[in-house]
Amino acid sequence: MAVFSPRKFSFSIIFLGLMTVLRSQAALDVHYYDRTCPEAEKIIRYTVLNASMHDAKAPARILRMFFHDCFIRGCDASVLLDSTPQNQAEKDGPPNISLRAFYVIDDAKTKLESACPKAVSCADIVAIAARDVVAMSGGPFWNVLKGRKDGRISKASETINLPAPTFNVSTLIQSFTKRGLGVKDLVALSGGHTLGFSHCSSFQARLHNFSSVQDIDPTMNPEFAETLKKKCPKPNKNGNAGQFLDSTASTFDNNYYKQLLAGKGVFGSDQALYGDYRTKWIVESFANDQSLFFKEFATSMVKLGNVGVMENGEVRLNCRVVN
């Protein structure tokens, strides 16, 4: 009888993941703006750094913006479009109401249009900014593939397709698979929660009347659950109340995975990763080896950045409206 080896399996996943990235690079190029806007990445980096110095929530929101953009219609900056009287856009869908860092992308776009008009797409700005907030917060740096075009369609109704904090592992795997992302990508990209904050509404169902027989989700550390209950009483009259998703929420590290091992995942979807044999060993690997997590996170971010890349889109002059 064959013996299942997580170590051998992990190498297979990493190899296949890298092959997928290499195949997808045909449409994008690290050096895409070398001639048309050589200062593009520098302009974006300084814009993001300045915003982060004045707004502590900006890094987490920009990273989340990239995820939410790529998961709906691919990485086409559809999340940046404003609603119109005829259409409610993605940014006004329930999962995106708390993003609120669109001004950072607007600022970068204004500076880029001054330096090199009609050259840099809004989709590329979001991808580069997401990399920069990770690196600035102590995480890995990777070369962002560039050359995305901006889409013209954005619908709030489609945000229902974003992974929810209540998903189990099977549902999460299905969601990621639809976008060409594997189990390793799921666990690695979930590590983006090392930066971030959640309002009570996203996890309070785990704290009150969880089931007919249990008040609290049994996968949650009891002491941690009591701490969250105090922050999120029922009924909760404080709309700003919530919890950081990681005890070192301003630093990009592997503490998120260590918290899962201790039963201190804030979202049910996060804690579920440690309760399922398909993902548990990857969680443990990342909790024990931060450099491995950084490597796999960077690889998965490149793969995510290749989801639904448009070849026939436009380069918006204003990220909030189509040309």
pLDDT score for 15? 43
- Residue 280's pLDDT band, with cuts at 50, 70 and 90, is very high
- Which regions of the chain carry the CATH code 1.10.520.10? 39-161
68 is catalytic: yes
Nearest to 101 by CA among 86, 91, 113, 112: 91
Burial of 86 (0-12, 13-18, 19+ CB in 10 A): exposed
The structure tokens listed for 300 are 């998965």
Q: How far is CA 95 from CA 99, 101, 131, 138, 261, in A?
A: 8, 14, 22, 27, 27
pLDDT in tens, 150-203: 999 999 999 999 999 999 999 999 999 999 999 999 999 999 999 988 888 888
Beta bridge partners of 198: 243
pLDDT score for 37? 97
pLDDT in tens, 100-120: 899 999 999 999 999 999 999
| CA angle 256–200–65, rounded 5-degree value | 60
Query: What stretches of the chain adopt beta strand conformation (E)?
Result: 197-199, 242-244
Check if CATH label 1.10.420.10 holds for domain 169-303: yes
Average pLDDT estimate for 92-103 = 92
Burial of 55 (0-12, 13-18, 19+ CB in 10 A): middle
DSSP state of 147: -
The structure tokens listed for 318 are 């204003």
- Which regions of the chain carry the CATH code 1.10.420.10? 169-303
Burial of 222 (0-12, 13-18, 19+ CB in 10 A): exposed
Q: At what angle do helices 40-54 and 58-71 cross, to 10 degrees?
A: 130
- In three-state secondary structure terms, 114 is helix
Indicate if the pLDDT at residue 20 is higher than 70: no
pLDDT in tens, 39-78: 999 999 999 999 999 999 999 999 999 999 999 999 999 9
The structure tokens listed for 146 are 């560039």
CATH assignment of 39-161, among 1.10.520.10, 3.60.20.10, 1.10.10.10, 3.40.50.2300: 1.10.520.10
The structure tokens listed for 163 are 């992974």
pLDDT score for 17? 43
pLDDT score for 101? 94
Quote the CA–CA distance of 67 and 301 in Å, as a whole number: 9
pLDDT score for 10? 42
Average pLDDT estimate for 88-104 = 93
Indicate if the pLDDT at residue 1 is higher than 90: no
Indicate if the pLDDT at residue 319 is higher than 70: yes
The structure tokens listed for 193 are 């929660």
- Residue 235's pLDDT band, with cuts at 50, 70 and 90, is confident
pLDDT in tens, 209-228: 888 788 888 999 999 999 98
Nearest to 30 by CA among 40, 15, 18, 44: 40
Quote the CA–CA distance of 284 and 260 in Å, as a whole number: 9
pLDDT score for 25? 40
Q: What are φ and ψ of residue 34, in 5° steps?
A: -55, -35
At a CB cut-off of 8 Å and minimum separation 6, what does 211 contact? Answer: none
Catalytic annotation, pick one of 68, 193, 199, 208:
68
Indicate if the pLDDT at residue 241 is higher than 80: yes
